Every structure is written in C-alpha cells, then in structure tokens.
Structure 1
Amino acid sequence: MRLHHLSFAALAAGLIALATTVQADTTTITDITGRKVEVETPVQRVILGEGRQIFFAAVLDTEDPFGRVVGWRDDFMKADLDGYNAYKEIYPQIDEIPTFGGMKDGTFDIEQAVSLSPDVIIMNLEAKAANEEAGYIEKLNAVGIPLVYVDFRERPMENTAASMEIIGELFGKSERAAEFNTFYREQMARVTDVIDSHPDLERPLVFMERAGGYSEDCCMSFGDENFGKMVELAGGNNLASDFIPGTFGTVNPEQIVASDPDQVVVTGANWEMYVPGGDWVGVGAGADLDVARKKLAHLMERPAFTGSKATQTGEVHAIWHQFYNSPYQFVAVQQLAKWFHPDLFKDLDPNATFAELHERFLPVAYKPGYFVSVK
C-alpha cells in the first residue's frame, strides 16, 4: 500500500511536470515598436531593463511581484528611495536581486544576462537607439534571449495600455492587464470627459519643471508628450510645448519670465542617493510634506520664477516624478486637473484614486505624500 502511494505520488509529480512543460507555448509577441518577437510564454525568468519597471510587474504579479525577476537595473532605489523602501519592508529579498549596467550608457553585460538564464528581457523604448548602435539585439538573439520593448515614458498616453497588454501576454496575465487598463480608462475619463464638455474652458498657462532642484540648471521640462500631454489633458496649456520639439528638453529662465506662467508644477522624488542633500522636492510614498513644501518654496526664489503670476498667487505645486515613467499617469492627470480647475473637480480625490489603485492592484499599502502645494 505504501509503495502504491509513492508510485502514485511520483506519477502525479510527473504529470504536473509534463503539464507545466506543455503549458509553455512559443508566442509571437508584437512589441511596442512593432517588432515580432518569439517568446516561450508564460515567462518564468525576467530581466527588467529598469528597476522602476516593477511598477507594472507589481500590477500583474501582485501576490509575488519579484517572483519572475532574476535581474534589473539598480535605478529603483536611486530614483525613488521612498518607493523602494515601501517594497523592501515587505520583500527584503529585493536587495539580493542581481543588478546590471544600462544598454543606454553602454554598460550592459551580455555574459551576465546569459548567466541569469532569462526567458525575456523587457526594455524601455528609449533604450532602442543605443541597443541598435551596440548590436545588442543580434548578440542576444545569438544566445537565444528575446528582448521586448514597452513604453511608459516617450508616449505614455498612447502606449501605456498596449504595453500593459504586451506584458500581460508575456506573464500569462492578460485578464489582469485588461482589468487594469479598464480602471486606467475609467479614471482618466473622470477628467477628460469633464474637460471635453467645456470647450470654452479658460486654460491656465502651466510650466512643468522636470526634476527641479536636482541640479543647479534651470529649467528642464516636457514638450507635447509625457507630463506635457498630461497638462493638456487636465485642462492646462503646457508652456514648454512651443519651445521643446520632442518629449524632453530645456526652457531657458528668460523665456519662463517672458511667458509668465499662471501655475508652476515641479516634479520630484526622494533623490538622496543621486544628489544627497539637494534642493529637489522629495514627494513620494509617505513623504514629509512640510519639508517638501519648504523646499518647493525655496525653488521659487530662483530668477525664472520670483515675479511670476504663479508665485504671486501661490499656484506652485510639486508632484511625484515617477508618474512620468509608470502606468499610473491617470492619478497625475487627476491631481493636475484639481489644481488647474478646482471648481470643476472639487469632488475628485486623487489620493483616493491612488489608494484604490494600491488596494486593487498593488502589494504595498498606500502612503500619501505624492503631491504638495506651497499654499
């Protein structure tokens, strides 16, 4: 009887192993650039081309967001220390995940990638030019490692839903991706439906400063895409669109003075590991908003802003920088709309929206601290 039980267990184990093998299918994935890539799905071992890609991985693998991650860039901790620590509280093993250099700066190590035996490498679209220049795609193909591009930064309003679908297909979590995309559209519509119903809306002139205080330079901003597009969707006029032809660029201080923005929004995060003690505004998970407010006010003492309408009326705000590189942009759009048109959106609560996102889709608890205003 005992032997029969063991044989049955061994047979069951064999059947499970066989079923697992059968379940892995060769799938042709069309990535965000239109490339056709053959991948064995669902993938079990993933290299994330950026640590902050955990923002989408956690939406799909909420129970175990690091379960598939065998390697990543080390930028999550550096670019969003508060967010990293929120995950580390629950998943201390994230400190042990192997890190590697970037394709964009030419420090990516193919041999290291091979040693991690990934089923796929997921890369952000902006790495594409550097990849092609260095011949990384061909080198990875030669060792049987597929690379798939997604985009939450270059054209996020256009590519976020499609990118989530691609990752859902890779992870075998297409239903979960669809559920998230539905939530995304519903939350975005809470702003865009209202704005669309007011065609004669008076739009404030808004200057978005990218990473204000990160360096002494003034002033990085956004063209027609990313936060620039979010400003337009939220019912504002993006000042920098006339001066920056692409997604990212710089507007000189004299131009900001001449344009005289009605509102200024600075992006920030906890960048203590990048610029210790810097002037950046440390908004993010559980941030001290009193400290953030003081630092924001200090940034407005620079010549580009001192006499502007925005500083005189107190319409100066800071928002979490990582909305620009995650599938959570609808939260930013809601908060921008609330700043630009408080009467139209008095019943909209972006904190509640972000809390619901955490409750439904993320493994970490929501800690407010992602937005602040000087007044």
Structure 2
Amino acid sequence: MNFLRMAAAAAALLASFLPLSAQAFTVIDVAGREVSFDRPVERVVLGQGLMIHAIAPIAKEDPFAKIVAWRNDLWKTDKNSFNAYAQKFPKMRELPFVGNVDNGTLQTETIVKLNPDVVLLPIESKPPAEEAKLEQTLAGVGAKIVYLDFRADMIKNTEPSLKIIGKLYGHEDRAEAVAAYWKQQMARVTDRLKAASPARQNVLVYRIAGLTGCCATFGPHNFGLMVEQAGGHNIGSDFVPGLYGELNPEQVIASNPDIVVVTGTNWSETEGAKGYVNVGPNAAPTLDESRKALNALMTDPAFTGSKAVANGNVHAIWHMFYTSPYQFVAVQQLAKWFHPDLFADLDPDTTFKEFHDKFLPIPYQPGYWVDARAAN
C-alpha cells in the first residue's frame, strides 16, 4: 500500500513539471469549432446555470469546484434543483451571477475580471455572442467560448456535449459512461416501439403553462421530438417549424388532442409566474396542489371539450428535462402515458433513481410528473 501511495505521489509530482504542451488539448464543440487549450481548465463561467445538470454527473465530487460565475436561471426557473444542490454545496450561493448574452445583459467586463479559462454557452447563444464580439473580447485574457447543446438538437448533440464536458473537466471516462447510459435508456423505448409499431395518438405539449397564455408549444425539436421518440404524434410539429412557438386556442380546439402534456417546474422566483404546475425534484410532497393547478389549466376553453380532458389523458412533467441530459427519463414517462400496456414494466422513477445513485452527488427526490386524475 505504501508503495502504491508513493508511486501515485511521484506521478502527480511528475505531472506538475510537465511542459504546458504536454497538457494541451483540443475540443470540437457542437458548433463545429476547434477550441484549443494549452493547459487544463480550472476556471469556468456558465453562460446558462442549467448546465449544472450536465456538469454534475461528470464532476460528481464537486460540480461547482471550477465554476467562478454563472447565470442565475437555475434559481429563477428550477428553484427545487437550486435548493437541492445548495444543501450539498452551500458555497455555490456565493458564486457571482452574470447576465444573459441572449438579451444583452451579459456583463463582459465582469467576465474578463474573473479571468476564466472557458465560458460555456448553449448553441442558441451563438448569434448574439457573435454580434457582441464576445469571443474577441475574451481572447484578450486568454479565455475561450465552448458551445454545448441539450435542447436544440438533443439526439445529435447530447452525447457530444457530455463528452466535451468530460474533456474540459478531465473526466472523459465518466462522460463516456453517462453518454452510454443515456443511449441505453433511450433505446429501451425506441427499440420496443420499432418492434411493436403501435398507433400514435395526437399529443399537445403545453409549454411553460402559467408563464404564458394558451398555448405555447414545441415544434419538431426538444419536447416535440421527445413525444415522437416516445411513440406519439406531436401536434405542434404540424404548425411550428422551429424549436417552439404559439398555437391559438382555436387551433387547439380544432386539433382536439388525445393527450395533453403540460411542462412545469418551480417558477416561484420568476416574475409574473402564476398558475404553473410545480413538478421536479422534491415536488412529491405537494403533488396534490400540483394536480389542482393542472386541472385548473384544463378549464381553459381551448381544452374543455378535448378528448384528452374527457378521457383523463392530461399530465404534467418537469420542464427542465428540455435542457439537460436527462431527456431519457422524460421519454420513458411519456411512453408510459402514450402506450401504458406496451411499457407496463418500465419504471422511470427507478431509472432516474439509478442514474442519481450512479452519477449524481445529490439523492433522488421524486416528484417529476403528475397526472390530472389521481391514481385509484
């Protein structure tokens, strides 16, 4: 044992004397850009706080150890997750917040003063970042931008994004394991659907209900794609060409969905949020209240006469599945709603608990979905 410890210490000492060129590495981000670093990454700015959901399974010991600042969207749009991580890593509360490059509130001077090695941005932030010449500004202090994506094209970009984080954090083996788990769990649904080829019901995803009026929804991407992956037909894809958009109430009535799925989370820190469905980590104790909120949303004239409401096929699911590498859980739960007999043996709660036990530093806290009708 002493010999092994001495050998490990010697290896660490040797690594500290290696020339920078030996520690240099390059990643290709989801925008196809080659981004080179001449040393390991130690200081990270999150241009989207929700990225912690992707960093946590790869930097399990302390996902905040290298983060020097982040956007405050986790607090504003996913307060339950914020509280869960703050309980385990209270120092995260002291991290400074930076603005949002998408709406022009990102304080470039603040980021420069933080002297980061890398700023992680979602791929949809690339146009505004280019307009603000953020890359050129950061180059002056030796910082790089790396683009990730878990929502614009989740099938194409989730695995590469995880592996990019693995390389940045020096945990490529963990990233490979998380990506493999993601792929395996997605296949538990898609492989069975391919073999059985069941009929597809028409599904309306009511996006961020309670933050907007009727009816925000998804096009053929993100939750729209998850619906298709789970064996449903996403109504929004027929009318919305992009990631998300709006359907007017008359169109919802005409579409007469077989199933309605509302996305919700703890939006209590979001200005103007009311009537939303609180689902997500640790929402299980209050799911009766969430169910009442869900049923209240269905009293809108756009839904009252629908097949979904008449047959009790109305559900709510955690909105943040849409921008994290946990989409496989949502796909499994959607599949159970769409094809209950075909997926009777599938238990998404067990899947997500296993993922927490294997990869995440915080315990599983159920409450990620609720049905409009309580189970008998």
> Alignment partner for residue 265 of structure 1, among 261, 267, 285?
261
Alignment of 1:7-156 (within 5 A): 15=13, 18-19=16-17, 25-156=23-154
> Alignment partner for residue 172 of structure 2, among 174, 194, 200?
174
1:43-97 Cα shifts (integer Å, max 9, x gaps): 1111111111110110111011111111100110111011110111111111101
> Alignment partner for residue 214 of structure 1, among 207, 211, 216?
211
Q: Distance in 1 between matches of 2:146 and 2:167?
A: 12
**Matched residue, 1:256:** 252
1:78-120 Cα shifts (integer Å, max 9, x gaps): 1101111011111111110111111111111222112212111
Q: Check the 8 A contact 1:103/1:127 in 2, yes or no.
A: yes
Q: Check the 8 A contact 2:211/2:272 in 1, yes or no.
A: no
Q: Distance in 2 between matches of 1:176 and 1:69?
A: 19
TM norm structure 1: 0.93
**Matched residue, 1:241:** 237
Q: Are the structure 2 counterparts of residues 71 and 194 from structure 1 closer, same or farther at C-alpha, using a change threshold of 3 Å?
A: same
SS in 2 for 1:38: strand
Q: Check the 8 A contact 1:31/1:166 in 2, yes or no.
A: yes
Q: Distance in 2 between matches of 1:164 and 1:94?
A: 22
What amino acid does structure 2 have at the position aligned with 1:146? K
Q: Distance in 1 between matches of 2:16 and 2:186?
A: 44
Q: Distance in 1 between matches of 2:171 and 2:134?
A: 28
Q: Check the 8 A contact 2:20/2:39 in 1, yes or no.
A: no
Q: Are the structure 2 counterparts of residues 12 and 197 from structure 1 closer, same or farther at C-alpha, using a change threshold of 3 Å?
A: closer
Q: Distance in 2 between matches of 1:104 and 1:219?
A: 23
**Matched residue, 2:295:** 297
SS in 2 for 1:104: helix
Shift of 1:198: 1.9
TM norm structure 2: 0.93
> Alignment partner for residue 364 of structure 2, among 363, 366, 370?
366
Q: What is the RMSD computed on CA atoms of the aligned residues? A: 1.8
SS in 2 for 1:60: coil
Q: Distance in 2 between matches of 1:127 and 1:222?
A: 19
Q: Are the structure 2 counterparts of residues 292 and 125 from structure 1 closer, same or farther at C-alpha, using a change threshold of 3 Å?
A: same
What amino acid does structure 2 have at the position aligned with 1:158? K
SS in 2 for 1:56: helix
Q: Distance in 2 between matches of 1:130 and 1:203?
A: 38
* % identical equivalent positions: 49
Shift of 1:20: 7.0
Q: Check the 8 A contact 1:39/1:120 in 2, yes or no.
A: no
Q: Distance in 2 between matches of 1:43 and 1:329?
A: 27
Q: 5+ unaligned residues in a row in structure 1: which ranges?
A: 1-10
Q: Check the 8 A contact 1:40/1:119 in 2, yes or no.
A: no
> Alignment partner for residue 223 of structure 2, among 224, 227, 235?
227
SS in 2 for 1:348: coil
Q: Are the structure 2 counterparts of residues 259 and 55 from structure 1 closer, same or farther at C-alpha, using a change threshold of 3 Å?
A: same
Q: Which moved more, 1:69-78 or 1:137-146?
A: 137-146
What amino acid does structure 1 have at the position aligned with 2:248? N
**Matched residue, 1:7:** none
Q: Distance in 2 between matches of 1:122 and 1:320?
A: 24
Q: Check the 8 A contact 2:151/2:323 in 1, yes or no.
A: yes
Q: Are the structure 2 counterparts of residues 15 and 249 from structure 1 closer, same or farther at C-alpha, using a change threshold of 3 Å?
A: same
> Alignment partner for residue 204 of structure 1, among 197, 201, 206?
201
**Matched residue, 1:332:** 330
Q: Distance in 2 between matches of 1:245 and 1:52?
A: 25
What amino acid does structure 2 have at the position aligned with 1:205? N
SS in 1 for 2:103: coil
Q: Distance in 1 between matches of 2:271 and 2:249?
A: 22
1:291-312 Cα shifts (integer Å, max 9, x gaps): 1100000000011101100000
What amino acid does structure 1 have at the position aligned with 2:281? A
Q: What number of residue pairs does the alignment pair up?
A: 363
Q: Check the 8 A contact 2:275/2:297 in 1, yes or no.
A: yes
**Matched residue, 1:160:** 158
